[in-house]
Structure 1
Amino acid sequence: MDLRMLSRELSLYLEHQVRVGFFGSGVGLSLILGFSVAYACYYLSSIAKKPQLVAGGESFGRFLRDHCPVVTETYYPTVWCWESRGQTLLRPFIASKPPVRYRNECIKTADGGQILLDWFDNDNSKSYMDASTRPTILLLPGLTGTSKESYILHMIHLSEELGYRCVVFNNRGMAGEDLLTPRTYCCANTEDLETVIHHVHSLYPSAAFLAAGVSMGGMLLLNYLGKMGTKTPLKAAATFSVGWNTFACSESLEKPLNWLLFNYYLTTCLQSSVNKHRHMFVKQIDMDNVMKAKSIREFDKRFTAVMFGYQTIDDYYTDASPNRRLKSVGIPVLCLNSVDDVFSPSHAIPIETAKQNPNVALVLTSYGGHIGFLEGIWPRQSTYMDRVFKQFVQAMVEHGHELSNM
């Protein structure tokens, strides 16, 4: 049979199959099964991987493997959504928001401003019935985030299960409170965080005190830890989806697709957050120019750098990058990043610096996006990030003393 005859016979066969029904013939089912098997093989061989654990000291690495095993287990991203941008965009929409009843507290700052703290006291804790010794977790949200973010609510829910108390540090002017001074916040200036940490520790000096920061909150936390070294009441800290080098972050977010999906939207959120307090800034900042910014870099150049007294945007971005201070961190810190995070490109992750500090451990997943880390078929309740958070804080509260003996 020649090629033309074979082609004709195949055409007649396919035409008949289509008439009797694509799926009914079994051809469609075979194709679906074949595609499913091929996709499963690709997923298991190329997508589902164990994270890379980079520990500056053998003792810390061994401690994490023993008491925080999730950092060495294979991470299985949601099979229908493992790409970086998809993970980043979907989490806020599909993640549940566990109900949390906060107790609000406003504290004063040295310059006359105020900071709003949201407390979850966990007075029903059965593991730590004595409030004075109940472990306290300080939570720092991202760039325009507050205590209402789903990732914060999940951390509180997990802390509640462990019997811990949580307090959320809302950046100035972000949680509905008035600005009393013409100042907001930035990840390079740690004065407000120092005030909050001193205040919380003074209330519960006998309680284990830990902190966790997400995205910009993690950058602020690392900059604080790098400045303080061992002179901090914090016992340990964790960060998630930190931007290590602000220049690299900005460059990545200014790529056309990333600008369209993330940069422009976040810029409008920043503009909205300061425009609510516009009357406080008009004497020192050209607010009309600020409202014309089309990117985070332009906003920072016209607003943030000016507010905090930097001569140029480069001066601010240099001071804001936590990779510069990682070598000075003096307490155990676990940092979870995904290498496909467009907010924090992989080439800027300070792996070599981390190897030189025995207090630092990096956990690097191949996928997960920015504050994504979705897993499961319909990931509403838990993410890989949540499991890392829970196991790490529990390990440090219950077994942290072992580190000093290793």
Structure 2
Amino acid sequence: MPILENTFTPSFPFNIGHFNTIYRPLFVKDTINYQRKRITTWDHDFLDLDFSFTGSTSIVVLIHGLEGSSQSSYMVTTSKKLNDEGFDTVCMNLRGCSGEDNLLLGTYHSGKTDDVDFVINHLNNQYNYQNIIIVGFSLGGNLTLKYLGEYNNIPSLVKGAVAVSVPIDLTTSQAELCKLKNKIYLTEFLKTMKTKLLQKAEKFPEFQLDKKLLLKATRFRHIEKQYTVPVFGFESSEDYWIKASSKPYIPNIKHTTLLINALDDSFLSKECYPYDEAQNIANFYLLTPDYGGHVGFLSSFSNAENTWLEEKIIHFIKDKVELC
């Protein structure tokens, strides 16, 4: 029954979910010197990988969330903490998220695990690591869990994973995000997505985008109807949510895996807390702190004390994942 004990007890006002969610991207600023390597994909596009080397035989692949990048606060702080503990890291920028638009009309979506598989195989074939661990945040966590449960030919170097603040059931979590309590977050997501799609329309004039309708979009389904569904071949938004969700794949995961979802995460529905799966799958661990917000998990105004999430990730890797 690998449901882990909650050890996260933040002080006021970090015990307020929305405060914790907002504080990290606005006020937790750190820097890291990445070494960027661009790899060409099988479909003649590219992915930008941002490495931070320590000379380790183990590398942690970090995957960001919706409209994030390797520069997202949680990516930088986690990379630095992992480096301090002797791990190499590589931050996978999803297509169109590295600061430069990708070459194709298609970018990424919540269930596009073929890019994850491509990066893992690239690391397996081109580098001499003994261990690969995957850490995904939000959308990146959904990709992580889905990849582990979907693919049967995962390289043996992949030893385990951690997923944080993950909407594992997209049907209910997108409905949650569309509620009034999440209006500020949804507005920000839609703003950057609209900007990128308008750029795509200029780049690909054959792409039939209704710009006026796009600018009026107030829900994810409005953008999915114009872009995600036709470009990636889904039948509808509902079809996309079902097929891209990682929850159905969790029972198939063979690797030692931890999911951390805070109970006060306003992005997540009750379906995103898979207690039954954790109780019945020996290698799938679940941690549901009372507090933490969405990819927040900050304890106080002192940055020196705001390492609970990073330490929890590292402790799980060292304690539960069998590394060579």
When normalised by structure 1's length, the TM-score is 0.75
Partner of 2:270: 346
> In the aligned structure 2, how far is the partner of 1:307 from the partner of 1:282?
14
What code does the residue aligned with 1:88 have? T
**Counterparts of residues 359-398 of structure 1 (less than 5 Å):** 359-379=283-303, 382-396=306-320
1:90 to 16, 23, 28: 23
The structure with the greater share of residues assigned to helix is 1
> In the aligned structure 2, how far is the partner of 1:356 from the partner of 1:240?
20
Query: Secondary structure of the equivalent of 1:72?
Result: coil
Please report how far the alpha carbon of residue 84 of structure 1 lies from its aligned counterpart in structure 2 after TM superposition.
Answer: 1.2
Query: Secondary structure of the equivalent of 2:288?
Result: strand
Please report how far the alpha carbon of residue 347 of structure 1 lies from its aligned counterpart in structure 2 after TM superposition.
Answer: 4.0
Aligned CA-pair RMSD? 2.0
Q: Segments of 4+ in structure 1 off by > 4 A?
A: none
Please report how far the alpha carbon of residue 393 of structure 1 lies from its aligned counterpart in structure 2 after TM superposition.
Answer: 2.3
Partner of 1:216: 139
Task: Check 1:394–1:276 CA distance in 2 against 1; reply closer, same or farther (3 A cut).
Answer: farther
Contact kept in structure 1, 2:262 and 2:291, CA below 8 Å:
yes
> In the aligned structure 2, how far is the partner of 1:228 from the partner of 1:264?
34
- Is it true that 1:356 corresponds to 2:289 in the alignment? no
**Counterparts of residues 301-312 of structure 1 (less than 5 Å):** 301-312=225-236
Task: Check 1:150–1:73 CA distance in 2 against 1; reply closer, same or farther (3 A cut).
Answer: same
Please report how far the alpha carbon of residue 230 of structure 1 lies from its aligned counterpart in structure 2 after TM superposition.
Answer: 6.7
Task: Check 1:159–1:345 CA distance in 2 against 1; reply closer, same or farther (3 A cut).
Answer: same
2:48 to 111, 116, 133: 116
1:266 to 163, 169, 189: 189
Please report how far the alpha carbon of residue 183 of structure 1 lies from its aligned counterpart in structure 2 after TM superposition.
Answer: 1.2
Query: Secondary structure of the equivalent of 2:310?
Result: helix
> In the aligned structure 2, how far is the partner of 1:179 from the partner of 1:198?
20
1:319 to 213, 234, 243: 243
Partner of 1:241: 165
Partner of 1:189: 112
- Is it true that 1:299 corresponds to 2:223 in the alignment? yes
Partner of 1:204: 127
Please report how far the alpha carbon of residue 284 of structure 1 lies from its aligned counterpart in structure 2 after TM superposition.
Answer: 3.2
> In the aligned structure 1, how far is the partner of 2:169 from the partner of 2:318?
29
How many equivalent pairs are there? 322
Please report how far the alpha carbon of residue 88 of structure 1 lies from its aligned counterpart in structure 2 after TM superposition.
Answer: 0.7
Task: Check 1:291–1:200 CA distance in 2 against 1; reply closer, same or farther (3 A cut).
Answer: farther
> In the aligned structure 2, how far is the partner of 1:110 from the partner of 1:104?
19
What code does the residue aligned with 1:270 have? M
Query: Secondary structure of the equivalent of 1:272?
Result: helix
Task: Check 1:275–1:122 CA distance in 2 against 1; reply closer, same or farther (3 A cut).
Answer: farther
Please report how far the alpha carbon of residue 400 of structure 1 lies from its aligned counterpart in structure 2 after TM superposition.
Answer: 4.6
> In the aligned structure 2, how far is the partner of 1:232 from the partner of 1:268?
38
Please report how far the alpha carbon of residue 202 of structure 1 lies from its aligned counterpart in structure 2 after TM superposition.
Answer: 1.2
- Is it true that 1:142 corresponds to 2:65 in the alignment? yes
Please report how far the alpha carbon of residue 338 of structure 1 lies from its aligned counterpart in structure 2 after TM superposition.
Answer: 0.5
Partner of 2:10: 77
Unaligned runs of 5+ in 2: none
Please report how far the alpha carbon of residue 381 of structure 1 lies from its aligned counterpart in structure 2 after TM superposition.
Answer: 5.6
Contact kept in structure 2, 1:285 and 1:306, CA below 8 Å:
no
> In the aligned structure 1, how far is the partner of 2:141 from the partner of 2:128?
23
Please report how far the alpha carbon of residue 73 of structure 1 lies from its aligned counterpart in structure 2 after TM superposition.
Answer: 5.5
Unaligned runs of 5+ in 1: 1-53, 56-60, 62-70, 129-133, 402-406
What code does the residue aligned with 1:297 have? R
What code does the residue aligned with 1:101 have? N
> In the aligned structure 2, how far is the partner of 1:377 from the partner of 1:255?
29
Contact kept in structure 1, 2:201 and 2:209, CA below 8 Å:
no
> In the aligned structure 2, how far is the partner of 1:160 from the partner of 1:179?
29
Partner of 2:80: 157
Please report how far the alpha carbon of residue 281 of structure 1 lies from its aligned counterpart in structure 2 after TM superposition.
Answer: 4.0
> In the aligned structure 2, how far is the partner of 1:269 from the partner of 1:394?
37
